[in-house]
Amino acid sequence: MLEGAKLIRAGAATIALAGAAVGIGNVFSSLIYGVARNPSLAKQLFGYAILGFALTEAIALFALMMAFLILFVF
């Protein structure tokens, strides 16, 4: 019973990975939209997009870390 609850908790912790995937898609779709509107700012917008990608991916890695902690520590 306890092992089943642990697996359910770890599965629930990975729901944040779907949110991170949506966030990364949003970052790069906004990059394409911004470059289409003003191509002269492409280099600056790409830097902002990479920063947004890194921060969003960090959230995904934290969620994955929590899932592994639930599975293997508790």
Q: Where are the domains of the chain?
A: 1-73
Q: Is the pLDDT confidence value at 11 over 90? A: no
CATH topology of domain 1-73: F1FO ATP Synthase (1.20.20)
How confident is the model over 13-31, as pLDDT tens digits? 888 889 999 999 999 999 9
How confident is the model over 17-71, as pLDDT tens digits? 899 999 999 999 999 999 999 999 999 999 999 999 999 999 999 999 998 998 8
Distances in whole angstroms, Cα of residue 54 to Cα of each of 2, 29, 33, 50, 61: 36, 15, 19, 6, 10
Report d(CA 8, CA 14) in Å as an integer: 10
pLDDT for the residue numbered 30: 96
pLDDT for the residue numbered 74: 78
